[in-house]
Amino acid sequence: MTTIRGLIFDYGGVLWDMRWDITHALEQEHGLRERAITETLYGSDTWRKLEVGVGDREVWLQGAHRELEGVAGRELPPLHQRWREQQHLIAPNIDLIRRLRPPYKTGVLSNADNTLLYRLKETHGIIDLFDDVVCSADVGMAKPDPRIYTLAASRLGLPAEECVFVDDMESNVHAAREAGMHAILFLVFEGHSLESQLADLGVRAGS
């Protein structure tokens, strides 16, 4: 059995609670169709370019708001911003990562714009928990591209088969397995325990 030495975490949904319930509440409050808020923000070509390093964050945010107003057919308050204001770190997972170091190497692999490193360091103050951070915008490719998983493992100095990848999207988890990694689907809104999921793979944290 391969020894697991590296643990690689997605940001949104694994380190950071996206609070999808807030989007549903805002959509109902403002008479919007289901998923209108998330789709206008993350379903656009502008986002797909931004997550591989092409474009401007503010242009994306402003465009998403205009698109949402187009869906509603009227002016709206800044609903994407209101959603973001309710998001927060997933405290049990952050504590877990602290207890996993050492002996495990830890990394982040996220489809994100190029503010991710700033957020981890300056906003959240948790950059010291990770040996490496692979941000899609900084490397010009995004999950589920198999190359990005290989890159994340190699930057930890490990082969893919010695790494576990944790994500909240089934397609990304499947791609990680195809790249040779162990992989876990973690869903905070389903009450998953990442500590238990990792323990099932033989990965145990200190107290």
Averaged pLDDT, groups of 10, the chain, 207 residues long: 92 98 98 98 97 98 98 98 98 98 97 98 98 98 98 98 98 98 98 98 91
What's the count of helices (H) and strands (E) in the chain, helices before strands? 11, 7
Q: Do residue 70 and residue 121 come from a single domain?
A: no
Distance between CA atoms of 160 and 49, rounded to whole angstroms? Answer: 27
Q: What's the confidence (pLDDT) of residue 2?
A: 77
Q: What's the confidence (pLDDT) of residue 128?
A: 98
User: Which residue's entry shows tokens 């928990």?
Assistant: 129
Tell me how many domains the chain contains: 2
Distance between CA atoms of 128 and 53, rounded to whole angstroms? Answer: 24
Q: Do residue 33 and residue 123 come from a single domain?
A: no
Q: What's the confidence (pLDDT) of residue 149?
A: 98
**Residue 39 sits in which domain range?**
20-85
Query: The CATH number of the domain where 159 resides is what?
Result: 3.40.50.1000
Give yes or no for a contact between 141 and 147, defined as CB atoms under 8 angstroms apart.
Answer: yes
E strand or H helix at 109, and its extent?
A: strand 105-110
Does residue 1 fall inside a structural domain? no
Closest CA to 192 of 8, 6, 28, 13: 13
Q: What's the confidence (pLDDT) of residue 207?
A: 75
Q: What are the helix (H) ranges across the chain?
A: 20-29, 36-42, 45-50, 57-72, 79-85, 91-100, 116-118, 136-139, 146-155, 170-178, 194-199
Q: Do residue 107 and residue 164 come from a single domain?
A: yes
Q: Do residue 187 and residue 108 come from a single domain?
A: yes
DSSP class of residue 115 equals T
Q: Do residue 38 and residue 103 come from a single domain?
A: no
> Among the three residues 85, 102, 122, which one is the final residue of a domain in this structure?
85
> Among the three residues 36, 59, 85, which one is the final residue of a domain in this structure?
85
Q: Do residue 31 and residue 76 come from a single domain?
A: yes
Q: Do residue 116 and residue 64 come from a single domain?
A: no
Does residue 10 fall inside a structural domain? yes
